[in-house]
Structure 1
């Protein structure tokens, strides 16, 4: 029609209709004039092929610098980022407009597509059921999880069967280590109900960090022994090549996204304790496994059988309890009951706890502490272990090395600071020790902390006599009950009366 351009679609339609109809009829059905139809017969190129290429409508801002300066930089340093080149060009040529950044980035991208170096190709793999299991750690610091208001620095050990999508996650409080890998991997295998033929992990470089050659060799042997116990062949990625474990690296993002969404729907990233947070993670992973239930059910028969028992998932160390009422292990001081002073203890180090043994007898479990990233030592102190000695030497509290870790709750520390500010040092230390002793004797640590918070908020100091009365009963004031022994003759009389009653019956 006059004033309208013929499109490629119209021309294709005309050429098809031309096979069965005269030119006039085909032109009318295609929506074009008869003269246009005759021109198309003479020149069968599509309209889009006839359109001349459009030239630049404005001057090229990179005309004099791209080939002369940018290309030599790209050849000399192929890994140079476009933003670095952009900043260098602005420094060399102050008259350039800042708006050339996108133009420069597009030009660099096009140049690299034609003249750039070959890039590494990722080869997608075909997975077989029951053949491969993958392990890796991922940092969870970005989610802002807290326990009782305190930030939780932790990793997540993540295991996955790539064929079915089965996954398992375990909260790790320390860094990457053999203990964390062994505990998480065994939990995952027993949860899956079977063992794959191969196990692939990263290079374990984080676990080897700061270890000498002998310790590294020992760690390698322990990892190989762990895999041999489950009849798995251990394999590792090349160091620094994360995509070799791509079937779990990508799953990290999906799992962390699901956890982030669940935290938002929950309304708070704060949890009462570690057990509650671990239950939260288990529930999310369980829902994801339920979505892959059919595939998991198909893969499970292809897995190897589990062994009769778990393998060792801890490190064992011998320590001696010193006269300070504890021992130092991995730059962390732990207190224990004073009756153990001088004894050698066998300590099993797990990721989140220490199990203490004397001989074959289990004594107690302690939470595991860790030295700071700067190498600063830490303390794990339980005031129940030292309160009886501290009562005899209350002034020791004043300059105690682990004083801040001695207080079980912040309210006790604030009470000490308030007492020290308004009373002589001796009285403040004695009063604070008596508060800790009251919490120990009456088993009222939490309730007493709440009462101290109320007192301090009112601007008062704790009254020990009133608090002792408040958290009665006092064992010293309990009445003495005397039980008199009963004569054995009374039991014989009772037996005799029972026999006579039976004879009458």
Structure 2
């Protein structure tokens, strides 16, 4: 085509047709003239190969400072950001134009590519079905919609298990930090939901679980983890401390799971749940939807997993505590109340992530909610007023300076009522009334209903009427009517028997 530049495509097209067509025909098919065709045959180079490299059209603004000042900075501190170097150069050279920032960043990037330090190489791995499962924990405190349970913030982690080949996932809400108990419970829940066990199990180095433990405790924790894996015939492996990409098959899945939870909370419109069980069901549903998308691969991998043992192994810590004269014991800096009949007994405690099971010998006594120390050096408290109310009725003034006074009130309405009583009545009278209210809630089984009545009194700015409340929720046992039962004469039974014989 006259007046146009010949490009590489036209030349390649001409050379292709030249193999089978005469030169004029090949030139016409390529859209070039006959003279241009002869010139291309004579030269043999592509048009792009003839172009001269574009030279600099203006002076290099960094010529005097790059090698003399910037390169020494890069060599002395390889981690320096390009923007920090640019700001330093502006400080040193006020006449330097701010418009050279991109030029400087590009020049630094090229220098680092040619002369920078070597970087760690990640080696992609191939996975076999049934070979590897991975465990890790992820913090859920950075969601766009904060999670609350009954209006109270829920500080928690998610234990996350994943099969490397099929992508099967399982998540379990953890109320405390990373620990062996949390790992053992979450891992066993995952394996029994899956119906089999992989040959290898990879976790991080358990550094969070090891924190603040002495050497003997760390050795015991390692031994227990190895025994857990041995119970399921899995070989335990750990990635190197601080090297997250060695656990990459689950680290990247953390982000996807947290995004899915965050999206579901946004669509739900609220992060508040009635109780912990409702939130756990919410997480289970999200994970189940993710697993349904990989159902075919999961079923294929499930077929080659190792069979599970007949029973689970222990996913708890076991210790012995002595119930003191305060009708309580302290475990892991948390104070727990128990019924006073256990005072003086040595009780076996099985410590789970979210609860404590108490045993006397082999007899299971009760389950307590697990508490957490606040982290400021103080003790936590898990108090049930029903455990001590009978003694508190005999010594109501003990409530005034009780160490766990704020925790003894089962609901906010009781605490607010006590504050109101203290403001308007003498301490002895206020303590006696609130203790009688707690006793009423316990004996008549009306804790929630009584709290609602106390809230009404608070809103009306009046003190509770103890006699009226007792009459309202249940009649006094002493005022119950006397029921008289008259027994029939035995002769009646003789009559019945005679009638039956006839």
Q: State the TM-score, normalized to the length of structure 2.
A: 0.92
Q: Deviations over 1:92-133 (max 9, x none)?
A: 444445555444333222112111222221111121122211
The one-character-per-residue Cα deviations of 1:375-398 (angstroms, maximum 9, x if unpaired) are: 321111111212222222222222
Matches within 5 A, 1:57-456: 57-98=57-98, 100-143=100-143, 144-456=146-458
Following TM superposition, by how much is the alpha carbon of 1:261 offset from its aligned partner in structure 2, in angstroms? Answer: 1.4
Q: Which residue matches 2:487?
A: 486
1:41 aligned onto 2:27: no
Distance in 1 between residues matched to 2:58 and 2:431, nearest whole Å: 82
- Residues paired across the two proteins, number: 500
RMSD between aligned alpha carbons?
2.3
| Cα distance change on mapping 1:22 and 1:357 into 2, 3 Å | same
Whole-angstrom CA distance in 2 between matches of 1:247 and 1:375 = 37
Q: Deviation per CA, 1:311-347, whole angstroms, max 9, x where unpaired?
A: 1111111111112221111111111112222221111
Q: What secondary structure is seen at the aligned counterpart in 1 of 2:69? A: helix
SS in 2 for 1:246: helix
Q: Is the 8 A contact 2:421 2:430 kept in 1?
A: yes
Decide whether aligned partners of structure 1 residues 103 and 486 sit closer, same or farther in structure 2, where only a CA change above 3 A counts.
farther
* SS of residue paired to 1:324: coil
1:182 and 1:445 mapped to 2: Cα distance? Answer: 37
Pair 4,333 (structure 1): closer, same or farther in 2 beyond 3 Å: same
1:290-330, CA deviations, whole angstroms, 9 ceiling, x for partnerless residues?
22221122122221111111111111111111122211111
SS of residue paired to 2:401:
coil
Note the 1:7-18 alignment, pairs <5 A. 7-18=7-18
Q: How big is the shift at 1:358?
A: 1.3
Q: Measure the CA separation in 1 of the matches of 2:481 and 2:468.
A: 24
Deviation at 1:175, TM superposition (A): 0.7
Distance 1:376 1:290 in 2: 46
Q: CA deviation at 1:70?
A: 2.2
Distance 1:456 1:58 in 2: 81
- In structure 1, C-alpha distance between the alignment counterparts of 2:429 and 2:89, rounded to whole Å: 71
Mapped contact 2:470–2:476 kept (Cα < 8 A)? no
Instruction: Between 446-455 and 217-226, report the one with greater CA deviation.
Output: 446-455
Matched position secondary structure for 1:348: strand
**Structure 1 regions of 5+ residues with no counterpart?**
none
The residue that corresponds to 1:476 in the other structure is 477
Q: In the TM superposition, what is the alpha-carbon distance from 1:14 to its structure 2 partner?
A: 3.0
Cα distance in 2 for partners of 1:429, 1:126 equals 69
Distance 1:498 1:102, change over 3 A: farther
- 2:497 aligns to what? 499
Structure 1 distance, partners of 2:289, 2:375, is: 36
Cα 1:202–1:414 change in 2 (3 A) is same
Q: 1:52 matched to which residue of 2?
A: 52
Deviation at 1:361, TM superposition (A): 1.4
Q: Secondary structure of 2:137's match?
A: strand
3-state DSSP class of the match of 2:192? helix
Find the aligned partners of 1:449 and 1:100 in 2 and give their Cα distance.
70
Separation in structure 1 between the aligned mates of residue 107 and residue 192 of structure 2, nearest angstrom = 55
Tell me: CA distance 1:16–1:371, structure 2 relative to 1, closer, same or farther (3 Å): same
Which range moved further: 327-336 or 450-459? 450-459
Q: Which moved more, 1:241-250 or 1:456-465?
A: 456-465
